[in-house]
Amino acid sequence: MEELTKAEERVMQVLWTLKKCFVKDIIEALPDDPKPPYNTISSVVRLLEKKGYIDYKAYGKTYEYFPIVSKGAYRKASFKKILSGYFDNSPESLFSFMVKEKQLSPEDINKIKDIINKNQ
């Protein structure tokens, strides 16, 4: 799975939420103010299509886009890359980092323990 730029990820987030939409719908859904130009988002959408993340249905010269890579599949690939690239494929290193950086509250740690206990 080819890596996405930040702009491509932002557009994919909108596509995953809307399920299918036109470029104008993507622009409307982005929180940016001012909104990005139509041509900019259209270019990002074409790159996503070229990378195999989305497809489209043509209505004359208008295109309705929809994701063909699920958010879950992308999350899984991204997580594997982070785990291998920054934590040497060690979940222990990842959790240790999160605890040291105070990214996990005691409640979060207890929830993780519960998930582990339920899946043993």
CB distance 36 to 30 below 8 Å: yes
What are 28-69's pLDDT values in tens digits? 999 988 999 999 999 999 999 999 999 999 999 999 999 999
Give residue 106's pLDDT: 86
- In order of start, what are the domains of the chain with their CATH numbers? 6-67 (1.10.10.10), 90-120 (no CATH)
pLDDT band at 71 (very low <50, low <70, confident <90, very high): very high
| Those residues with Cβ within 8 angstroms of residue 8's Cβ, 6 or more apart along the chain or in another chain | 44, 47, 48, 51, 53
- 94 SS3 class: helix
Per-residue pLDDT averaged across 108-116, rounded?
89
